[in-house]
Chains A and B, each alone.
Chain A
Amino acid sequence: METPEEIQPQPPLTEPTYFILLSLAPGPSHGYAMMKDVYELSQGRVSLSTGTLYTALKRLLEGGWIERSDGSSDRSEEGGRQRKAYQLTLLGSRILKAEVQRLEGLVTAAQLRSIGNTS
């Protein structure tokens, strides 16, 4: 797997990927919690279907950006169903931070031209 020091420059992340990584930033989470989190983080703009979520999770797992959490199984209150949780890897955290810095750079550039500065 790629170490954080070896991170290659990444193309800009897609919105679903960005929000999925962002929702995992605080700690491990499972599928449905991620779907809700992404919806709230994007202020209702990005609504992930289960198909899109798990297609993205598969790609992120293969890329080593996320992994299944070791103590991954938690139980929902009503069904007692085992759920698998996912968490960011070190590589995933680095990529997310790099993306946030890139976005900050874009906003800073816009502010230099007084675009988007509401104050």
Chain B
Amino acid sequence: MKFLIWLFSAFLYLYPVEFRKAFAAEMQADFLEALQAAAAEGWFAMLRLFASEIADLPGNLIHLHWTDRDPFPFDRPRSDSFENIAGTRRAGLLAGLPHLLYPLSLFLPLITSAGLGLPVTARPAQFTFWFITAVVLVFAWSRGWPRWSSSWIGYALVFALEQFNAIGFEGWGARFVFIIWLVLTGFTLLRMSRRDWLSCLLVILPVTPMWLWWTSIPATEGILAKAMLFASIGVSVFVAVAAVVRIGRWQTAALMLLAVLLAVGLPAAPGAGVEGASALLVYLGRPSNAPDLGISQFFILFLLTAPLWMLAVWRNANRQQQRG
């Protein structure tokens, strides 16, 4: 009987916090009373009682977690989506963390293989990163999608893009899945922008560096210095995003993120000629071994996010005008 009571108490932790605060003590007391009554009829009656609790559990949890709560509170428009709210240090750390972990999951295996002579095993590192992302997103959902979770939502979109890419479509098929992904991303961004522009910018941030880190993997294979260069880029994004969330001003965020995109995105520009070097510097210095900058891919990605930036600027200008 004690074991069943312990198990029942453990299952109570699956209920939402508010519900637990309001009813857990009563539920425990009622279950105890029902169990004592069932004990008089034998252990089979006790097991039947416990089984009925377990059988009803999924339905009740879905109802309480999903129906009673707004699963996407970021969809709820706020009175002022440009409101400047300074974040805590922990929020900054959590917001920046995926930008540190993702390049590590990509390049750490290369670093260890080149530096320590270990075999290249990228999959466990990437799987661990996506698993952590999933856990953090569940945690963020239970906390009502705080601002720091925006970076993780951005990486969830990256994950979706990776999966679409893994399907292996070519030609029109590839374009079609990319359009689906764009619609999904646009839908998420536009709805988030109704609540908080800063979060919106943080969501889009991972896409460009991710794309270019991703395409740079073959060029870095087996070369320790290059792998470390790209992994260290993650540190700069981490610091920038942590600062953005800590400061909490969307204008500062827009400038810092733009700077990060320029600094981070360009080093891996395909066809830059000098692998691992900044295409911008290569372009400015015009070295002889840089035949074609080929930054069009990066430029397209930048243009894809441009409407969002311009819309934010336009909306904020309108807001300032109305206040004036």
Residues of A within 8 A of B60 (CB): 51-52, 55
Q: Which of A31, A47, A59, A81 contacts B27 (CB 8 A)?
A: A31
Which interface class (under 10, 10 to 19, 20 to 34, 35 or more) fits B? 20 to 34
Q: Are A58 and B23 in contact (CB under 8 A)?
A: yes
6 sample A-B contacts, Cβ–Cβ < 8 Å, listed by A number = A31-B27, A31-B30, A49-B56, A51-B56, A58-B23, A58-B64
How many A residues face the partner with a CB closer than 8 A? 19
Q: Which of A54, A55, A76 contacts B26 (CB 8 A)?
A: A54
Nearest-neighbour CB distance to chain A for B217, whole angstroms, equals 49
Q: Are B52 and A49 in contact (CB under 8 A)?
A: yes
Nearest-neighbour CB distance to chain A for B215, whole angstroms, equals 50
- Which B254-274 residues have C-beta < 8 A from chain A? none
* B63 adjacent to chain A (CB < 8 Å): yes
Footprint of B on A, CB under 8 Å?
Answer: 30-32, 35, 47, 49-55, 57-59, 76, 81, 83-84
Q: Are B34 and A54 in contact (CB under 8 A)?
A: no
Nearest-neighbour CB distance to chain A for B12, whole angstroms, equals 9
Q: Are B34 and A50 in contact (CB under 8 A)?
A: yes
Q: Are B22 and A50 in contact (CB under 8 A)?
A: no
Residues of A within 8 A of B15 (CB): 51
Residues of B within 8 A of A84 (CB): 26
Nearest-neighbour CB distance to chain A for B47, whole angstroms, equals 14
Please measure, in the bound complex, the distance between the C-alpha atom of A59 and the C-alpha atom of B55, giving whole angstroms: 20
* B19 adjacent to chain A (CB < 8 Å): yes
Please measure, in the bound complex, the distance between the C-alpha atom of A50 and the C-alpha atom of B4, giving whole angstroms: 14
Residues of A within 8 A of B53 (CB): 49-51
* Chain B interface, DSSP helix/strand/loop, else mixed: helix
Nearest-neighbour CB distance to chain A for B51, whole angstroms, equals 10
Please measure, in the bound complex, the distance between the C-alpha atom of A58 and the C-alpha atom of B33, giving whole angstroms: 21
* B31 adjacent to chain A (CB < 8 Å): yes
Please measure, in the bound complex, the distance between the C-alpha atom of A116 and the C-alpha atom of B64, giving whole angstroms: 38
Known contacts A55-B60, A58-B22, A58-B23, A47 near B30 by CB under 8 Å:
no
Please measure, in the bound complex, the distance between the C-alpha atom of A11 and the C-alpha atom of B31, giving whole angstroms: 31
Please measure, in the bound complex, the distance between the C-alpha atom of A6 and the C-alpha atom of B56, giving whole angstroms: 34
Q: Are B56 and A54 in contact (CB under 8 A)?
A: no
Q: Are A47 and B52 in contact (CB under 8 A)?
A: yes
The 9 closest A-B pairs by CB, nearest first: A49-B56, A31-B30, A32-B30, A51-B60, A54-B23, A50-B27, A49-B53, A55-B60, A32-B33
Residues of B within 8 A of A59 (CB): 68
Q: Are B31 and A55 in contact (CB under 8 A)?
A: no
Nearest-neighbour CB distance to chain B for A27, whole angstroms, equals 18
Residues of A within 8 A of B56 (CB): 49, 51-52
* B29 adjacent to chain A (CB < 8 Å): yes
Q: Are A51 and B26 in contact (CB under 8 A)?
A: no
Q: Are B57 and A51 in contact (CB under 8 A)?
A: yes
Nearest-neighbour CB distance to chain B for A13, whole angstroms, equals 16
Q: Are A50 and B31 in contact (CB under 8 A)?
A: yes
Q: Are A83 and B26 in contact (CB under 8 A)?
A: yes
Of the candidates B22, B31, B33, B56, the one having the most CB atoms from chain A within 10 angstroms of its own CB is B33
Nearest-neighbour CB distance to chain B for A20, whole angstroms, equals 13
- Which B50-79 residues have C-beta < 8 A from chain A? 52-53, 55-57, 59-60, 63-64, 68
Residues of A within 8 A of B59 (CB): 52
Known contacts A50-B31, A50-B34, A51-B56, A31 near B26 by CB under 8 Å:
yes
